[in-house]
Structure 1
Amino acid sequence: MNDASAPQKSLVRFLILPALGLLAAAILADVLGRAAGWGALGRGPSDSSRVALTFDDGPSPRTLELLAILERRDARATFFVTAPACAAHPELLQKLLDSPHQIEAHGRWHRHALLLTPWQEWAQIVWHPRGAQAGALLYRPPYGGHSPLTRLLARLAERQIALWDVESRDWTDADAPALAQQTLARIRPGSVVLLHDGPAVTPELLGLLLDGLKERGLQAVTLAELPMRRIGLRQGLKRIWASYGG
Protein backbone atom coordinates (compact mmCIF):
# COMPACT_ATOMS: atom_id res chain seq x y z
CA MET A 1 0.00 0.00 0.00
CA ASN A 2 2.73 2.41 0.99
CA ASP A 3 4.87 1.39 -1.99
CA ALA A 4 1.98 2.05 -4.40
CA SER A 5 1.28 5.50 -2.98
CA ALA A 6 4.90 6.64 -3.03
CA PRO A 7 5.01 7.51 -6.78
CA GLN A 8 1.76 9.39 -6.41
CA LYS A 9 3.14 11.45 -3.55
CA SER A 10 6.29 12.17 -5.55
CA LEU A 11 4.18 13.31 -8.50
CA VAL A 12 2.11 15.58 -6.24
CA ARG A 13 5.27 17.15 -4.83
CA PHE A 14 6.67 17.50 -8.34
CA LEU A 15 3.57 19.41 -9.50
CA ILE A 16 2.53 21.34 -6.41
CA LEU A 17 5.83 22.60 -5.04
CA PRO A 18 6.84 24.50 -8.23
CA ALA A 19 3.32 25.94 -8.45
CA LEU A 20 3.52 27.15 -4.86
CA GLY A 21 6.93 28.63 -5.57
CA LEU A 22 5.59 30.53 -8.59
CA LEU A 23 2.64 31.78 -6.55
CA ALA A 24 4.93 32.97 -3.76
CA ALA A 25 7.16 34.74 -6.30
CA ALA A 26 4.13 36.46 -7.86
CA ILE A 27 2.85 37.64 -4.46
CA LEU A 28 6.30 38.85 -3.46
CA ALA A 29 6.68 40.73 -6.75
CA ASP A 30 3.36 42.48 -6.15
CA VAL A 31 4.18 43.40 -2.54
CA LEU A 32 7.73 44.57 -3.21
CA GLY A 33 7.15 46.05 -6.66
CA ARG A 34 3.70 47.62 -6.60
CA ALA A 35 2.68 48.04 -2.96
CA ALA A 36 6.08 48.91 -1.46
CA GLY A 37 7.51 50.20 -4.72
CA TRP A 38 11.07 49.83 -3.45
CA GLY A 39 13.52 51.05 -6.06
CA ALA A 40 10.88 52.59 -8.33
CA LEU A 41 10.33 56.31 -8.73
CA GLY A 42 7.73 57.76 -6.40
CA ARG A 43 6.77 61.07 -4.80
CA GLY A 44 9.00 64.11 -4.97
CA PRO A 45 10.49 66.39 -2.30
CA SER A 46 8.11 67.14 0.57
CA ASP A 47 9.63 70.56 1.16
CA SER A 48 8.56 71.94 -2.22
CA SER A 49 5.35 73.55 -3.45
CA ARG A 50 5.02 71.12 -6.36
CA VAL A 51 2.59 68.29 -7.08
CA ALA A 52 2.48 66.06 -10.17
CA LEU A 53 -0.84 65.17 -11.80
CA THR A 54 -0.56 62.09 -14.03
CA PHE A 55 -3.08 60.62 -16.49
CA ASP A 56 -3.08 56.95 -17.50
CA ASP A 57 -4.70 55.11 -20.44
CA GLY A 58 -4.91 57.88 -23.07
CA PRO A 59 -5.11 59.43 -25.47
CA SER A 60 -8.91 59.43 -25.52
CA PRO A 61 -11.77 61.60 -26.81
CA ARG A 62 -11.42 63.56 -23.53
CA THR A 63 -7.75 64.42 -24.04
CA LEU A 64 -8.43 67.78 -25.69
CA GLU A 65 -10.72 68.80 -22.82
CA LEU A 66 -8.06 67.90 -20.27
CA LEU A 67 -5.43 69.84 -22.23
CA ALA A 68 -7.70 72.89 -22.40
CA ILE A 69 -8.29 72.85 -18.64
CA LEU A 70 -4.57 72.51 -17.93
CA GLU A 71 -3.76 75.37 -20.32
CA ARG A 72 -6.34 77.70 -18.75
CA ARG A 73 -4.87 77.04 -15.30
CA ASP A 74 -1.24 77.29 -16.47
CA ALA A 75 -0.68 73.76 -15.16
CA ARG A 76 1.42 70.92 -16.55
CA ALA A 77 0.90 67.19 -16.25
CA THR A 78 2.30 63.83 -17.33
CA PHE A 79 0.38 61.49 -19.64
CA PHE A 80 1.11 57.75 -19.61
CA VAL A 81 -0.29 56.54 -22.93
CA THR A 82 -0.95 53.05 -24.30
CA ALA A 83 -0.09 51.74 -27.76
CA PRO A 84 -3.71 50.83 -28.68
CA ALA A 85 -4.98 54.29 -27.70
CA CYS A 86 -2.17 55.96 -29.66
CA ALA A 87 -3.03 53.85 -32.71
CA ALA A 88 -6.71 54.73 -32.37
CA HIS A 89 -6.08 58.47 -31.89
CA PRO A 90 -2.81 59.42 -33.68
CA GLU A 91 -3.88 63.05 -33.98
CA LEU A 92 -4.39 63.27 -30.21
CA LEU A 93 -1.02 61.66 -29.58
CA GLN A 94 0.54 64.34 -31.77
CA LYS A 95 -1.32 67.02 -29.78
CA LEU A 96 0.20 65.60 -26.61
CA LEU A 97 3.67 65.42 -28.12
CA ASP A 98 3.39 69.04 -29.25
CA SER A 99 2.17 70.19 -25.83
CA PRO A 100 4.28 71.36 -22.85
CA HIS A 101 3.30 68.19 -20.98
CA GLN A 102 5.41 65.09 -20.37
CA ILE A 103 4.48 61.99 -22.41
CA GLU A 104 5.50 58.57 -21.14
CA ALA A 105 4.60 54.88 -21.63
CA HIS A 106 1.81 52.79 -20.12
CA GLY A 107 2.53 49.77 -22.29
CA ARG A 108 1.55 47.99 -25.49
CA TRP A 109 -1.36 46.32 -23.69
CA HIS A 110 -3.38 47.44 -20.69
CA ARG A 111 -2.83 44.12 -18.98
CA HIS A 112 -1.40 43.15 -15.60
CA ALA A 113 2.21 41.97 -15.80
CA LEU A 114 1.27 38.55 -14.38
CA LEU A 115 -0.95 37.96 -17.42
CA LEU A 116 1.92 38.48 -19.87
CA THR A 117 4.50 35.97 -21.03
CA PRO A 118 8.11 37.06 -20.46
CA TRP A 119 8.56 38.01 -24.14
CA GLN A 120 5.25 39.91 -24.08
CA GLU A 121 6.31 41.79 -20.98
CA TRP A 122 9.57 42.71 -22.69
CA ALA A 123 7.60 44.13 -25.64
CA GLN A 124 5.30 45.86 -23.14
CA ILE A 125 8.16 47.59 -21.35
CA VAL A 126 10.37 48.48 -24.32
CA TRP A 127 7.55 50.25 -26.23
CA HIS A 128 7.46 54.02 -25.85
CA PRO A 129 5.43 56.68 -27.72
CA ARG A 130 8.55 58.82 -28.16
CA GLY A 131 10.54 55.94 -29.60
CA ALA A 132 14.09 55.26 -28.52
CA GLN A 133 15.19 58.87 -28.29
CA ALA A 134 17.85 59.86 -25.79
CA GLY A 135 16.91 60.69 -22.22
CA ALA A 136 15.30 58.90 -19.32
CA LEU A 137 12.12 57.14 -20.40
CA LEU A 138 9.45 56.21 -17.88
CA TYR A 139 7.18 53.17 -17.79
CA ARG A 140 4.13 52.88 -15.58
CA PRO A 141 2.90 49.28 -15.44
CA PRO A 142 -0.87 48.90 -15.89
CA TYR A 143 -2.45 48.70 -12.41
CA GLY A 144 1.09 49.19 -11.10
CA GLY A 145 1.31 45.41 -11.48
CA HIS A 146 4.60 43.57 -11.29
CA SER A 147 5.74 40.12 -12.27
CA PRO A 148 8.95 38.61 -10.89
CA LEU A 149 10.63 39.82 -14.13
CA THR A 150 9.30 43.40 -14.31
CA ARG A 151 12.21 45.19 -12.65
CA LEU A 152 14.86 43.13 -14.45
CA LEU A 153 13.27 43.72 -17.86
CA ALA A 154 12.86 47.44 -17.12
CA ARG A 155 16.53 47.68 -16.25
CA LEU A 156 17.55 45.86 -19.43
CA ALA A 157 15.27 48.16 -21.48
CA GLU A 158 16.71 51.23 -19.70
CA ARG A 159 13.27 52.20 -18.43
CA GLN A 160 12.45 53.63 -15.01
CA ILE A 161 9.31 52.43 -13.24
CA ALA A 162 7.15 55.41 -12.23
CA LEU A 163 4.47 54.88 -9.57
CA TRP A 164 2.23 57.22 -7.55
CA ASP A 165 1.26 57.87 -3.94
CA VAL A 166 -2.28 59.33 -4.30
CA GLU A 167 -5.07 57.71 -6.32
CA SER A 168 -8.03 59.82 -7.43
CA ARG A 169 -10.30 56.80 -7.96
CA ASP A 170 -11.87 58.52 -10.96
CA TRP A 171 -12.76 55.08 -12.31
CA THR A 172 -15.45 54.66 -9.61
CA ASP A 173 -19.07 55.86 -9.65
CA ALA A 174 -18.43 58.71 -7.17
CA ASP A 175 -19.08 62.28 -8.34
CA ALA A 176 -16.35 64.85 -8.95
CA PRO A 177 -16.79 66.89 -5.72
CA ALA A 178 -16.56 63.75 -3.56
CA LEU A 179 -13.51 62.49 -5.45
CA ALA A 180 -11.84 65.90 -5.27
CA GLN A 181 -12.42 66.16 -1.53
CA GLN A 182 -10.94 62.76 -0.74
CA THR A 183 -8.04 63.21 -3.17
CA LEU A 184 -7.08 66.67 -1.88
CA ALA A 185 -7.17 65.32 1.68
CA ARG A 186 -4.36 62.88 0.78
CA ILE A 187 -2.23 65.20 -1.34
CA ARG A 188 0.95 66.52 0.22
CA PRO A 189 3.77 68.61 -1.29
CA GLY A 190 5.64 66.31 -3.66
CA SER A 191 2.69 63.96 -4.23
CA VAL A 192 2.19 62.10 -7.51
CA VAL A 193 -1.54 61.84 -8.24
CA LEU A 194 -3.03 59.11 -10.42
CA LEU A 195 -5.89 60.12 -12.73
CA HIS A 196 -7.16 58.60 -15.98
CA ASP A 197 -7.62 60.01 -19.47
CA GLY A 198 -11.04 58.67 -20.37
CA PRO A 199 -13.59 58.68 -17.52
CA ALA A 200 -16.43 61.19 -17.88
CA VAL A 201 -15.81 62.57 -14.39
CA THR A 202 -12.12 63.36 -14.88
CA PRO A 203 -12.33 66.82 -16.54
CA GLU A 204 -14.56 68.21 -13.77
CA LEU A 205 -12.40 66.49 -11.17
CA LEU A 206 -9.27 68.01 -12.70
CA GLY A 207 -10.71 71.50 -12.43
CA LEU A 208 -11.63 70.99 -8.78
CA LEU A 209 -8.20 69.56 -7.98
CA LEU A 210 -6.44 72.51 -9.60
CA ASP A 211 -8.65 74.91 -7.62
CA GLY A 212 -7.82 73.06 -4.40
CA LEU A 213 -4.10 72.99 -5.15
CA LYS A 214 -4.09 76.73 -5.86
CA GLU A 215 -5.79 77.43 -2.52
CA ARG A 216 -2.99 75.52 -0.78
CA GLY A 217 -0.25 77.26 -2.75
CA LEU A 218 0.67 74.10 -4.67
CA GLN A 219 1.66 74.05 -8.34
CA ALA A 220 0.86 71.22 -10.79
CA VAL A 221 4.02 70.25 -12.71
CA THR A 222 5.38 67.36 -14.77
CA LEU A 223 7.18 64.43 -13.17
CA ALA A 224 10.47 65.72 -14.57
CA GLU A 225 9.86 69.08 -12.90
CA LEU A 226 8.77 67.57 -9.58
CA PRO A 227 11.23 65.67 -9.65
CA MET A 228 10.45 62.07 -8.65
CA ARG A 229 12.63 60.30 -6.11
CA ARG A 230 13.41 56.63 -5.64
CA ILE A 231 11.23 54.91 -3.08
CA GLY A 232 13.31 53.87 -0.10
CA LEU A 233 12.72 51.55 2.84
CA ARG A 234 10.73 53.95 5.01
CA GLN A 235 8.47 55.23 2.24
CA GLY A 236 7.98 51.67 0.99
CA LEU A 237 6.79 50.53 4.39
CA LYS A 238 4.34 53.45 4.48
CA ARG A 239 3.04 52.43 1.06
CA ILE A 240 2.49 48.84 2.22
CA TRP A 241 0.57 50.10 5.25
CA ALA A 242 -1.58 52.35 3.06
CA SER A 243 -2.29 49.47 0.65
CA TYR A 244 -2.98 46.68 3.11
CA GLY A 245 -3.28 48.09 6.60
CA GLY A 246 -4.52 51.64 6.32
Structure 2
Amino acid sequence: MPCFVVLAFFAIAIGIVYELWYFLIAVLCLASCFTAWGAFDIRLGYFTPTYVKQKNSTEKLLALTFDDGPTPFTADIMALLDQYDSKATFFCIGKQMERYPELTRQLLANGHQIGNHTYSHSTNFGFLSTDEVVAEIEKCNAVLAKCTQTQTSLFRPPFGVTNPSVARAVKQLKPLVIGWSNRSLDTVITDEDRIFRRVVRKLQAGDIILFHDTSARTVNVLRKFLPYLKAEGYRCVSVDDLLNLHNHEK
Protein backbone atom coordinates (compact mmCIF):
# COMPACT_ATOMS: atom_id res chain seq x y z
CA MET A 1 0.00 0.00 0.00
CA PRO A 2 2.73 2.57 0.80
CA CYS A 3 4.37 1.86 -2.58
CA PHE A 4 1.03 2.46 -4.27
CA VAL A 5 0.65 5.78 -2.46
CA VAL A 6 4.15 6.85 -3.48
CA LEU A 7 3.54 5.88 -7.08
CA ALA A 8 0.22 7.71 -7.07
CA PHE A 9 1.91 10.79 -5.60
CA PHE A 10 4.58 10.79 -8.30
CA ALA A 11 1.99 10.28 -11.01
CA ILE A 12 0.00 13.28 -9.75
CA ALA A 13 3.18 15.37 -9.45
CA ILE A 14 4.25 14.50 -13.00
CA GLY A 15 0.76 15.35 -14.25
CA ILE A 16 0.89 18.72 -12.52
CA VAL A 17 4.33 19.46 -13.99
CA TYR A 18 3.07 18.63 -17.48
CA GLU A 19 -0.02 20.81 -16.95
CA LEU A 20 2.15 23.69 -15.78
CA TRP A 21 4.53 23.19 -18.70
CA TYR A 22 1.68 23.34 -21.23
CA PHE A 23 0.24 26.35 -19.45
CA LEU A 24 3.63 28.10 -19.58
CA ILE A 25 3.96 27.37 -23.30
CA ALA A 26 0.47 28.74 -23.90
CA VAL A 27 1.27 31.93 -21.94
CA LEU A 28 4.55 32.43 -23.83
CA CYS A 29 2.82 31.93 -27.17
CA LEU A 30 0.10 34.40 -26.23
CA ALA A 31 2.68 36.95 -25.06
CA SER A 32 4.68 36.52 -28.28
CA CYS A 33 1.58 37.02 -30.40
CA PHE A 34 0.56 40.13 -28.48
CA THR A 35 4.10 41.55 -28.72
CA ALA A 36 4.16 40.94 -32.48
CA TRP A 37 0.77 42.59 -32.79
CA GLY A 38 2.03 45.55 -30.76
CA ALA A 39 5.08 45.87 -33.00
CA PHE A 40 3.07 46.08 -36.21
CA ASP A 41 -0.03 47.96 -35.02
CA ILE A 42 1.14 51.45 -34.09
CA ARG A 43 -2.33 52.34 -32.81
CA LEU A 44 -1.76 50.24 -29.68
CA GLY A 45 1.14 52.36 -28.44
CA TYR A 46 2.56 49.10 -27.10
CA PHE A 47 6.25 50.10 -27.02
CA THR A 48 6.09 53.89 -27.01
CA PRO A 49 3.34 56.51 -26.53
CA THR A 50 1.74 57.25 -29.88
CA TYR A 51 -0.78 59.83 -31.08
CA VAL A 52 -3.40 58.22 -33.32
CA LYS A 53 -6.33 60.67 -33.25
CA GLN A 54 -7.94 63.56 -31.39
CA LYS A 55 -10.31 61.88 -28.96
CA ASN A 56 -13.66 63.42 -28.09
CA SER A 57 -13.31 66.01 -30.84
CA THR A 58 -15.99 68.69 -30.61
CA GLU A 59 -15.30 69.90 -34.18
CA LYS A 60 -15.32 68.09 -37.51
CA LEU A 61 -11.55 68.28 -37.87
CA LEU A 62 -9.30 65.75 -39.60
CA ALA A 63 -5.58 65.42 -40.21
CA LEU A 64 -4.66 64.11 -43.63
CA THR A 65 -1.16 62.62 -43.60
CA PHE A 66 0.98 61.47 -46.52
CA ASP A 67 3.96 59.13 -46.22
CA ASP A 68 7.06 58.38 -48.29
CA GLY A 69 7.43 61.57 -50.32
CA PRO A 70 8.10 63.99 -51.64
CA THR A 71 7.57 62.69 -55.18
CA PRO A 72 6.20 64.30 -58.35
CA PHE A 73 2.72 63.27 -57.15
CA THR A 74 3.20 65.51 -54.11
CA ALA A 75 2.76 68.55 -56.34
CA ASP A 76 -0.60 67.23 -57.62
CA ILE A 77 -1.73 66.58 -54.06
CA MET A 78 -0.71 70.07 -52.97
CA ALA A 79 -2.73 71.56 -55.81
CA LEU A 80 -5.83 69.63 -54.73
CA LEU A 81 -5.37 70.56 -51.08
CA ASP A 82 -5.07 74.22 -52.04
CA GLN A 83 -8.21 73.96 -54.17
CA TYR A 84 -10.21 72.81 -51.14
CA ASP A 85 -8.44 75.06 -48.61
CA SER A 86 -7.05 72.03 -46.80
CA LYS A 87 -3.80 71.56 -44.91
CA ALA A 88 -1.96 68.28 -44.41
CA THR A 89 1.10 66.75 -42.79
CA PHE A 90 3.71 65.04 -44.98
CA PHE A 91 5.98 62.47 -43.36
CA CYS A 92 8.99 62.76 -45.64
CA ILE A 93 11.90 60.42 -46.27
CA GLY A 94 15.30 62.09 -46.09
CA LYS A 95 16.47 60.61 -49.40
CA GLN A 96 13.35 61.91 -51.11
CA MET A 97 13.85 65.40 -49.71
CA GLU A 98 17.39 65.35 -51.08
CA ARG A 99 15.99 64.34 -54.46
CA TYR A 100 13.20 66.94 -54.45
CA PRO A 101 14.36 69.89 -52.32
CA GLU A 102 12.13 72.39 -54.12
CA LEU A 103 9.03 70.29 -53.46
CA THR A 104 10.09 70.01 -49.82
CA ARG A 105 10.30 73.78 -49.52
CA GLN A 106 7.01 74.20 -51.38
CA LEU A 107 5.21 72.05 -48.80
CA LEU A 108 6.04 74.55 -46.08
CA ALA A 109 5.41 77.54 -48.34
CA ASN A 110 1.89 76.20 -48.96
CA GLY A 111 1.22 75.98 -45.23
CA HIS A 112 1.62 72.24 -44.79
CA GLN A 113 3.57 70.44 -42.10
CA ILE A 114 6.53 68.08 -42.50
CA GLY A 115 7.28 65.13 -40.24
CA ASN A 116 10.26 62.77 -40.03
CA HIS A 117 9.89 59.39 -41.76
CA THR A 118 13.57 58.37 -41.42
CA TYR A 119 16.32 58.94 -43.94
CA SER A 120 16.11 55.74 -45.98
CA HIS A 121 12.83 54.02 -45.02
CA SER A 122 14.75 50.73 -44.82
CA THR A 123 12.79 47.54 -45.45
CA ASN A 124 14.75 46.16 -42.48
CA PHE A 125 13.64 48.96 -40.18
CA GLY A 126 12.13 46.57 -37.66
CA PHE A 127 15.52 44.87 -37.23
CA LEU A 128 17.66 47.99 -36.76
CA SER A 129 19.53 48.58 -33.51
CA THR A 130 18.78 51.58 -31.32
CA ASP A 131 21.84 53.41 -32.64
CA GLU A 132 20.78 52.73 -36.22
CA VAL A 133 17.25 54.04 -35.58
CA VAL A 134 18.71 57.15 -33.96
CA ALA A 135 20.98 57.67 -36.98
CA GLU A 136 18.03 57.31 -39.39
CA ILE A 137 15.99 59.90 -37.52
CA GLU A 138 18.85 62.34 -37.06
CA LYS A 139 19.97 62.11 -40.69
CA CYS A 140 16.42 62.83 -41.88
CA ASN A 141 16.26 65.82 -39.52
CA ALA A 142 19.55 67.09 -40.91
CA VAL A 143 18.28 66.90 -44.50
CA LEU A 144 15.10 68.76 -43.54
CA ALA A 145 17.11 71.47 -41.81
CA LYS A 146 19.39 71.84 -44.84
CA CYS A 147 16.45 72.05 -47.26
CA THR A 148 14.16 74.32 -45.26
CA GLN A 149 16.09 75.74 -42.26
CA THR A 150 13.32 74.29 -40.08
CA GLN A 151 12.94 71.41 -37.65
CA THR A 152 10.16 68.97 -36.87
CA SER A 153 9.12 67.31 -33.64
CA LEU A 154 6.96 64.70 -35.41
CA PHE A 155 8.11 61.19 -36.24
CA ARG A 156 6.34 58.32 -37.95
CA PRO A 157 8.29 55.04 -38.10
CA PRO A 158 8.34 53.24 -41.47
CA PHE A 159 5.51 50.73 -41.84
CA GLY A 160 4.23 51.88 -38.43
CA VAL A 161 6.68 49.47 -36.80
CA THR A 162 7.59 50.02 -33.15
CA ASN A 163 9.78 47.81 -30.96
CA PRO A 164 12.24 48.20 -28.06
CA SER A 165 14.93 49.72 -30.35
CA VAL A 166 12.48 52.31 -31.68
CA ALA A 167 11.23 53.02 -28.16
CA ARG A 168 14.77 53.65 -26.89
CA ALA A 169 15.53 55.90 -29.86
CA VAL A 170 12.35 57.87 -29.21
CA LYS A 171 13.20 58.20 -25.53
CA GLN A 172 16.64 59.53 -26.47
CA LEU A 173 15.57 61.99 -29.19
CA LYS A 174 12.12 62.83 -27.79
CA PRO A 175 10.08 63.24 -30.99
CA LEU A 176 6.31 62.85 -30.90
CA VAL A 177 5.34 59.54 -32.50
CA ILE A 178 2.38 59.94 -34.85
CA GLY A 179 0.31 56.98 -35.96
CA TRP A 180 -3.15 56.94 -37.52
CA SER A 181 -6.72 55.96 -36.81
CA ASN A 182 -7.88 55.57 -40.42
CA ARG A 183 -5.64 53.74 -42.91
CA SER A 184 -6.44 53.97 -46.60
CA LEU A 185 -4.24 51.04 -47.72
CA ASP A 186 -3.68 53.04 -50.92
CA THR A 187 -0.39 51.22 -51.56
CA VAL A 188 -2.10 47.82 -51.39
CA ILE A 189 -5.60 48.29 -52.82
CA THR A 190 -5.63 49.09 -56.54
CA ASP A 191 -9.33 49.92 -56.90
CA GLU A 192 -9.69 53.67 -56.28
CA ASP A 193 -13.40 53.46 -55.41
CA ARG A 194 -12.63 50.76 -52.87
CA ILE A 195 -9.99 52.96 -51.23
CA PHE A 196 -12.48 55.82 -51.07
CA ARG A 197 -15.19 53.63 -49.54
CA ARG A 198 -12.77 52.17 -47.01
CA VAL A 199 -11.77 55.58 -45.66
CA VAL A 200 -15.29 57.02 -45.69
CA ARG A 201 -16.78 53.97 -43.96
CA LYS A 202 -14.56 54.46 -40.90
CA LEU A 203 -14.45 58.26 -40.95
CA GLN A 204 -14.78 60.05 -37.60
CA ALA A 205 -14.05 63.56 -36.39
CA GLY A 206 -10.55 63.71 -34.96
CA ASP A 207 -9.15 61.06 -37.32
CA ILE A 208 -5.55 61.01 -38.47
CA ILE A 209 -5.81 59.50 -41.95
CA LEU A 210 -2.93 57.71 -43.64
CA PHE A 211 -2.34 58.16 -47.37
CA HIS A 212 0.83 58.05 -49.50
CA ASP A 213 1.94 60.74 -51.95
CA THR A 214 3.53 58.16 -54.22
CA SER A 215 0.97 57.31 -56.91
CA ALA A 216 -1.64 58.69 -59.29
CA ARG A 217 -4.09 56.34 -57.57
CA THR A 218 -4.04 58.39 -54.38
CA VAL A 219 -4.35 61.64 -56.34
CA ASN A 220 -7.49 60.28 -58.01
CA VAL A 221 -8.95 59.20 -54.67
CA LEU A 222 -8.38 62.68 -53.27
CA ARG A 223 -10.24 64.22 -56.23
CA LYS A 224 -13.31 62.47 -54.88
CA PHE A 225 -12.51 62.48 -51.17
CA LEU A 226 -11.77 66.19 -50.67
CA PRO A 227 -15.10 67.45 -52.10
CA TYR A 228 -16.85 64.77 -50.04
CA LEU A 229 -15.24 66.11 -46.87
CA LYS A 230 -16.22 69.66 -47.75
CA ALA A 231 -19.83 68.63 -48.38
CA GLU A 232 -19.93 66.82 -45.03
CA GLY A 233 -18.56 69.83 -43.15
CA TYR A 234 -15.11 68.45 -42.32
CA ARG A 235 -12.02 70.66 -42.20
CA CYS A 236 -8.54 69.29 -42.85
CA VAL A 237 -5.76 70.67 -40.62
CA SER A 238 -2.18 69.76 -39.74
CA VAL A 239 -1.40 67.18 -37.06
CA ASP A 240 -0.14 70.02 -34.85
CA ASP A 241 -3.46 71.84 -35.17
CA LEU A 242 -5.56 68.72 -34.69
CA LEU A 243 -3.71 67.64 -31.55
CA ASN A 244 -2.73 71.12 -30.33
CA LEU A 245 0.96 70.24 -30.23
CA HIS A 246 2.39 73.68 -31.01
CA ASN A 247 3.90 74.16 -27.57
CA HIS A 248 5.77 70.85 -27.56
CA GLU A 249 9.45 71.23 -26.82
CA LYS A 250 11.98 68.55 -27.67
TM-score (structure 1 length as normaliser):
0.76
Q: Which residue of 2 aligns with 1:113?
A: 125
Are residue 131 (structure 1) and residue 145 (structure 2) matched?
A: yes
In the TM superposition, residue 172 of structure 1 has moved relative to its aligned partner by: 2.3
Runs of 4+ in 1 over 4 A off after TM superposition: 24-27, 132-136
> What is the alpha-carbon root mean square deviation over aligned residues?
2.5
In the TM superposition, residue 81 of structure 1 has moved relative to its aligned partner by: 0.2
Q: Which residue of 1 aligns with 2:35?
A: 28
Contact 1:53 1:78 in 2 (8 A): yes
For structure 2, which runs of at least 5 residues remain unmatched after alignment?
Answer: 1-27, 246-250
**Which deviates more, 123-132 or 72-81?**
123-132
Q: Which residue of 1 aligns with 2:45?
A: 37
Are residue 148 (structure 1) and residue 156 (structure 2) matched?
A: no
Contact 2:115 2:152 in 1 (8 A): no
Q: Hey, what's the Cα distance between the residues in 2 that align with 1:102 and 1:152?
A: 25
User: Secondary structure of the equivalent of 2:72?
Assistant: coil
Decide which structure has the larger Cα Rg and report it: 2
Q: Which residue of 1 aligns with 2:207?
A: 191
Are residue 170 (structure 1) and residue 186 (structure 2) matched?
A: yes
Q: Hey, what's the Cα distance between the residues in 2 that align with 1:58 and 1:135?
A: 17
Q: Which residue of 2 aligns with 1:76?
A: 87
Figure out how many residues of one structure are paired with residues of the other and give that number. 207
User: Secondary structure of the equivalent of 2:216?
Assistant: coil
Residues 108 and 140 from structure 1, CA distance in 2 versus in 1: closer, same or farther, beyond 3 angstroms? same
Residues 196 and 228 from structure 1, CA distance in 2 versus in 1: closer, same or farther, beyond 3 angstroms? farther
Residues 228 and 194 from structure 1, CA distance in 2 versus in 1: closer, same or farther, beyond 3 angstroms? farther
Contact 1:29 1:148 in 2 (8 A): no
Contact 1:53 1:77 in 2 (8 A): yes
In the TM superposition, residue 97 of structure 1 has moved relative to its aligned partner by: 2.7
Q: Hey, what's the Cα distance between the residues in 2 that align with 1:27 and 1:125?
A: 27
Higher relative contact order (CA 8 A, sep 6+): 1
Residues 134 and 71 from structure 1, CA distance in 2 versus in 1: closer, same or farther, beyond 3 angstroms? closer
Superposed, 1:76-95 pairs within 5 Å as: 76-95=87-106
In the TM superposition, residue 134 of structure 1 has moved relative to its aligned partner by: 8.2
For structure 1, which runs of at least 5 residues remain unmatched after alignment?
Answer: 1-20, 230-246
Residues 106 and 62 from structure 1, CA distance in 2 versus in 1: closer, same or farther, beyond 3 angstroms? same
Residues 136 and 63 from structure 1, CA distance in 2 versus in 1: closer, same or farther, beyond 3 angstroms? closer
Q: Which residue of 2 aligns with 1:211?
A: 227
Q: Percent identity?
A: 28
Q: Hey, what's the Cα distance between the residues in 2 that align with 1:25 and 1:123?
A: 28
In the TM superposition, residue 136 of structure 1 has moved relative to its aligned partner by: 6.1
